Structure 1
Amino acid sequence: MTQQVRGVVAPGKGEKVRIETIVVPDAGPGEAVVKVQACGVCHTDLHYREGGINDEFPFLLGHEAAGIVESVGEGVTEVAPGDFVILNWRAVCHECRACRRGRPWYCFNTHNAKQPMTLADGTALTPALGIGAFAEKTLVAAGQCTKVDPSAAPAAAGLLGCGVMAGIGAALNTGNVQRGDSVAVIGCGGVGTASVAGARLAGAAKIIAVDLDERKLEWARSLGATHTLHAGSADVVEAIRELTDGNGADVVIEAVGRPETYQQAFYARDLAGTVVLVGVPTPEMKLELPLLDVFGRGGALKSSWYGDCLPDRDFPMLIDLYQQGRLDLDAFVSETIGLEDIEEAFAKMHRGEVLRSVVMF
């Protein structure tokens, strides 16, 4: 039997979001219905509202979520009713060429629920990143549910579903930061600050945070940055080199997604160092670099998709670190809000006033 719940819908490009009645089907084969407890407000949700992802309106927004499995469909064995789970948008298929090569964190065929959730009039909704968790309940593929320690705070745990995992994974998985490395992070919003936390977890000896906003630099400092640089008052490349014995950082993580900051990252790394792009560019952006510099500086230029995470490997491990007091996920929760506060949360995010606003149910 279908259920009707409240959820936040983006009806059209640039239009303000609305709270609507959402019809959630019973879980079909391979699916699960999850009672959402908390869901972070991510910049990707704003991209959806603005038409920056695609034009498949109306969207059911929300994807950084944690909750309780309410029911499962036929054939589901990985989770059961009552399990506390973090939702993810990388439900690996185990069949594509990446999975067959033993690289499931690159899965090219991740799957979502087959049945659509709808408005009360039957209009099919497109769930953000295949999740749609700005709703009291949501329907997902069972593989999108990762079981973790139920004693973890839902507001903190849910953030691993996207932005915090992307940042931590950019350092740990994509950048492969090692003990004693020097790391620079350019852009210290939610993802960049999570990259700082990831570098600290990896044992980096020097972590340099770069931003134009003193408030964000303070966030980065509180989560592990050993040095901070205000990008408006220093030559970023030269300042990073000065802090690394004139060499540049071993790993530079670009968490802005702009050509200018990418160039800074490229030239601020040591010879044979690594650049990780985790900031998301817009379609019109272009990058121009002298090819001789690309060749001559060696090393690696990488892009980080979802922190190159494997949810069933990484989420439980990071929750364990959180429970041990070694990863302060609570620090990323700037405020808790209701469904009716999402538009204001978008505005606060745009102004750089919060790391994360989290909707609580």
Structure 2
Amino acid sequence: MAHQVRAVVAREKGAPVTLETINVPDPGPGEALVKVEACGVCHTDLHYRDGGISDDFPFLLGHEAAGIVEAVGEGVTDVVPGDFVILNWRAVCGQCRACLRGRPWYCFNTHNAKQKMTLLDGTELSPALGIGAFAEKTLVAAGQCTKVDPAASAAVAGLLGCGVMAGIGAAINTGGVGRGDSVAVIGCGGVGDAAIAGSRLAGAAKIIAVDIDQRKLETARKLGATHTVNSQETDPVEVIRRLTGGFGADVVIEAVGRPETYRQAFYARDLAGTVVLVGVPTPDMTLELPLLDVFGRGGALKSSWYGDCLPSRDFPMLIDLYLQGRLDLDAFVSETIALDEVEKAFKRMHHGEVLRSVVVL
């Protein structure tokens, strides 16, 4: 039996999203039907709407979500109806070469629901990141559901489903930030601020936030930055070096995804330091660096995809830290909105007016 629910759909490239009624099927083998309670408005959804990821329109947007499992299909044992879960887009397979080598966070064969959600006329929808959670209910692979403590509100828990996890993971999992380290974060949007919060959790001694927006730098301080640099007013590489005794930071996290900010990150790190790229570039961008500098500076140049997270390991841990008062997830929620306000939220996000708008159903 199909469930008819309200959902936010992007029908064509660049056009405003629409609130429509869609069909969501009952879960088949290995699938779960989730009643969505909250879903963050992420830049990735805007990229889908604007055709920056693929042209598989129409898209069912939304992916940064938490909710309650309503039903499960045959063979599902990890979650049961009534479980409070965060949705993830890295449902590891357990069988690929990465999983079999004990590195499931690199899984090369992550999976989604096999059945398709559709418009009322039968047109198949492409769910954003295999989730599609700007909807009253959504159908996902059961492995995309990570059970966490229901004491956390859905509005904050769902943020771990994408941006906040990407930033925290870039610092802790990919960058390996440790006690006493110096860290610089270039770009203080949601992901960059999460990297700052993650560096603070890991015990970094010095956390330098870099952005061109003074409002964002003020928020970065609240989340753990010890120093801020407005790169419109001064050279961030020079300031980062000065603040680290002339050496550069142990870990530099680039959360913008542009060649010019990546070069800043590269030259702002200490010798044998680590650069982590977590900002998402566009397909047309290229990077040019002197190969001798790449060789001579040593260290590591890494990319962080979803913060190299393992949802089953990381989501419950971070929710526990939140409930203990050690991770301020509430600080990431700028506003809560209704399902029909997503297009307005895109505009506010584009203009840097919010850290995260969260749809609460």
* TM more than 0.5: yes
Aligned equivalents of 1:139 and 1:343: distance in 2?
23
Q: Deviations over 1:272-316 (max 9, x none)?
A: 000000000001111000000000000000000000000000000
Amino acid at match of 1:11: R
SS at match of 2:326: coil
**1:331 is aligned to 2:331:** yes
SS at match of 2:76: coil
Aligned to 1:54: 54
Q: Deviations over 1:35-91 (max 9, x none)?
A: 000000000000000111101000000000000000000000000000000000000
Aligned equivalents of 2:339 and 2:82: distance in 1?
24
Aligned to 2:75: 75
Aligned to 1:311: 311
**1:285 is aligned to 2:285:** yes
TM-score, with structure 1 as normaliser? 1.00
RMSD of aligned residue pairs (Cα, Å): 0.4
Aligned to 1:205: 205
Aligned equivalents of 1:200 and 1:287: distance in 2?
30
Amino acid at match of 2:356: R
Q: Deviations over 1:142-181 (max 9, x none)?
A: 0000000001010000000000000000000000001000
Aligned equivalents of 1:345 and 1:143: distance in 2?
29
The runs of 5 or more residues in structure 1 that have no matched partner are none
Q: Deviations over 1:247-278 (max 9, x none)?
A: 00000000000000000000000000000000
Amino acid at match of 1:80: V
**1:350 is aligned to 2:347:** no
After TM superposition, the runs of 4+ consecutive aligned structure 1 residues lying more than 6 A away are none
Amino acid at match of 1:247: F
Aligned to 1:29: 29
Q: CA deviation at 1:2?
A: 1.2
Q: CA deviation at 1:183?
A: 0.1
**1:223 is aligned to 2:233:** no
Aligned to 1:171: 171
Aligned to 1:19: 19
Q: Deviations over 1:184-239 (max 9, x none)?
A: 00000000000000000000000000000011001110000000000111111010
Q: CA deviation at 1:339?
A: 1.1
TM-score, with structure 2 as normaliser? 1.00
Aligned equivalents of 1:226 and 1:153: distance in 2?
29
Aligned to 1:86: 86
SS at match of 1:263: helix
Identity %: 81
Amino acid at match of 1:237: V
Q: CA deviation at 1:340?
A: 1.1
SS at match of 1:234: coil
Amino acid at match of 1:238: E
Amino acid at match of 1:269: R
Amino acid at match of 1:94: G
Aligned equivalents of 2:216 and 2:272: distance in 1?
29
**1:156 is aligned to 2:156:** yes
